[in-house]
Amino acid sequence: MPLQIWVWTQIWIHVLCGVFTLSFIFPFLDRVNKDRKIQYWSKSLLKIFNIELVVLGADVIEKTPHLIASNHISWLDIYVINAFRPTRFVAKSEVAGWPIFGWMAKQLGTVFIRRDSARHARQVVDQMAGVLKTEPICIFPEGTSTAGECVLPFKPNLFESAIVAQAPVYPISIQYLSKMTGMRSDSPAFIGDMGLLESMSKIIRNRFLLAQITVLPPCFSGQNSNIDRKQLANSCQELIAKTL
């Protein structure tokens, strides 16, 4: 069986197993066991794509609820982060309409935001602040994905949730590197009008990838501070940009 056909077969079997788990097992699990399932499923997906995960500074993040701010390159980012440490995500509303993966995102508690609505953003901030009392959340403040060679200006709105909840804010950077050359790879970049299946095909054709997460010191400790959301967004952006 040709390699690409084998990989596609493994992907769809894996997705179907995920759908079964979310439909019939997830509702009966507590938070700890749900997180274990999420982490295992995400690690297995990376293995199917032959993506190795490396985490630098893993011990920086404490176990208390926190906000993660990350640069954004690919739909894979969610699974890379979940393979490291399961968390809730905020995603653009278009993701909810993706076949199967959109439904799975909903079942995993993803918070969807309409990027063209300031009023909806305010509602999402309030919702996030409530979640941050008990669970971690990850945001992609660039508002779109890039090729990964630079960081776009971070939009500050969603950082307000951490200030309201008094939750620590950890910036992390994601990089996709070729294991053959050690250089940045464009293969996972999900940009422009690219569709999900097209992106997956590109990754399958370019196996031997390394996903590297770098966890940076917190920009906000979660304690009372005079920092505002714009300063917080800028600090996170600057720290991530330095790692790239």
Model confidence pTM above 0.85: yes
What stretches of the chain adopt beta strand conformation (E)? 51-56, 67-70, 88-92, 111-113, 137-139, 169-178, 209-215
Backbone angles phi, psi at 162, to 5 degrees: -70, -35
What residue ranges do the domains of the chain occupy? Answer: 3-243
- pLDDT of residue 20 exceeding 80: yes
- What number is the average pLDDT over the span 80-85? 96
Residues 6+ apart with CB under 8 A from 164: 125, 126, 129
Instruction: Categorize the per-residue pLDDT at 87 as very low, low, confident or very high, splitting at 50, 70 and 90.
Output: very high
pLDDT in tens, 100-156: 778 888 888 888 887 666 667 778 888 899 999 999 999 999 988 998 899 999 999
Taking the C-alpha atoms of residue 240 and residue 123, their distance in angstroms, rounded to an integer, is 27
Assigned fold of 3-243: Glycerol-3-phosphate (1)-acyltransferase (3.40.1130)
